[in-house]
């Protein structure tokens, strides 16, 4: 009975959030006295899959069906369920991403399992109890949840666990086929949902995000956001009011009703920090706030703050970022 970890790929590599899930899953397996197996789907290089051994994964089941390069929930669920059955897995681990959330909920129904999302800590396993801690109320509180079903499904919150790199032997990669039918792809989207925000960086997966609000004073000043993002290799984002008034496209809107991000660095320029915006960025490891109002609510959540006009501060940050490359 192994622990099964679903890993997501992007441009042939394993997403950082999935490396976190793999590290989490291998630690759960160790606590249970078993091994951790990963299941990968679609466009992922086998070399990247083999490197999962560094995160404690012993084996990877890989379905390379070309039709799976685009996310289709029903097809992904069928593949993961086949892997879970093959491995007799009773604990399944995902990243708490959009894909992980969609697949996890469907698997919970299919496997009659208990599902816990937004999990922030390793489970406490005591006799017949399997208790996890999950963030609730937009990260303002934590709940202790005992998963009682035979199958337990855990979606790990991004940036809540460290990536293990133990230098272990390479994971073995085995082919997996779920015998998918055309009907499994009936709900395939007509077009991709995820869009990059410039420079080929997908906002939900970005390590660094530079975001702007109404303090940018107009779309004609957005080149400052884009230039800093370019220098830092970051994605660009915006607050909801900015997208609502048409300064930026809606797929850049970060917040409770937009995209949730978990970068290592989130730079907010000219954003006051409404609670709805904070709900979408509070998983960021480091938050830097630039605002001319010293009473702006965002400063309470910031790791670093700069009191000043974003239009005056950003050029200085751009200059400093360029100097780093020299």
Give residues with Cβ within 8 angstroms of 13, minimum separation 6. 44, 45, 48
Is-contact 81 110, C-beta < 8 A? Answer: yes
How far lies 14's CA from each of 47, 49, 221, in Å? 10, 7, 35
pLDDT band at 186 (very low <50, low <70, confident <90, very high): confident
pLDDT of 98-134, one tens digit each?
899 889 999 999 999 999 999 999 999 988 899 999 9
pLDDT number for residue 191: 42
Is-contact 30 122, C-beta < 8 A? Answer: no
- Measured between alpha carbons, how far is 24 from 125 in angstroms, rounded to an integer? 14
- Measured between alpha carbons, how far is 78 from 180 in angstroms, rounded to an integer? 8
pLDDT of 56-74, one tens digit each?
999 999 999 889 988 999 9
Burial category of 169 from C-beta neighbours within 10 Å (exposed 0-12, middle 13-18, buried 19 and up): exposed
Where is the binding site, in residues?
A: 214, 270-277, 291
The per-residue pLDDT of the chain, averaged, comes to 91
**What are the structure tokens assigned to 318, written together?**
């751009």
- Domains, the chain, ordered by start: 2-185 (3.40.50.620), 203-322 (3.40.50.1220)
Where is the binding site for FAD, in residues?
A: 214, 270-277, 291
**Which helix H or strand E contains 78, and what residues bound it?**
helix 73-87
Beta pairing class for 57-63 and 172-175: parallel
Say if residue 54's pLDDT is above 80: yes
**What are the structure tokens assigned to 310, written together?**
């974003």
Q: What is the CA radius of gyration of the chain?
A: 21
pLDDT of 70-94, one tens digit each?
899 999 999 999 999 999 999 999 9
pLDDT of 222-245, one tens digit each?
999 999 999 999 999 999 999 999
């Amino acid at each position: 009975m192994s622990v099964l970890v679903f890993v997501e790929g992007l441009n042939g590599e394993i997403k950082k959030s999935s490396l976190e899930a793999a590290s989490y899953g291998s630690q759960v397996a160790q606590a249970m006295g078993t091994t951790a197996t990963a299941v990968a789907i679609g466009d992922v290089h086998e070399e990247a899959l083999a490197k999962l051994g560094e995160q404690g994964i012993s084996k990877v089941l890989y379905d390379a069906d070309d039709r799976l390069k685009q996310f289709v929930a029903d097809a992904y669920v069928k593949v993961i369920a086949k892997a879970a059955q093959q491995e007799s897995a009773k604990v399944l681990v995902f990243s708490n991403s959009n894909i992980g959330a969609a697949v996890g909920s469907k698997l919970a129904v299919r496997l009659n399992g208990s599902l816990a999302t937004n999990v922030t800590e390793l489970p406490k396993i005591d006799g017949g109890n399997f208790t996890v801690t999950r963030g609730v109320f937009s990260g303002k509180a934590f709940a202790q949840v005992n998963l009682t079903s035979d199958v337990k499904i855990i979606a790990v919150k991004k940036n809540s666990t460290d990536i293990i790199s133990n230098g272990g032997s390479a994971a073995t990669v085995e082919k997996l086929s779920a015998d998918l039918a055309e009907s499994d792809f009936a709900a395939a989207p007509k077009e991709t949902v995820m869009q990059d925000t410039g420079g080929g960086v997908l906002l939900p997966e970005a390590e660094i995000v530079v975001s702007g609000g109404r303090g940018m004073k107009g779309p004609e000043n957005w080149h400052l956001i884009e230039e800093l993002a370019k220098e830092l290799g970051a994605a660009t984002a915006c607050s909801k009011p900015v997208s609502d008034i048409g300064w930026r496209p809606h797929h850049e809107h970060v917040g409770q009703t937009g995209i949730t991000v978990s970068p290592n660095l989130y730079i907010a320029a000219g954003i006051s920090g409404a609670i709805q915006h904070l709900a979408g960025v509070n998983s960021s490891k480091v938050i830097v706030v630039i605002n001319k109002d010293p009473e702006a609510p965002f400063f309470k959540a910031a790791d670093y703050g700069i009191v000043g006009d974003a239009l005056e501060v950003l050029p200085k940050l751009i200059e400093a970022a360029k100097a780093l490359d020299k």
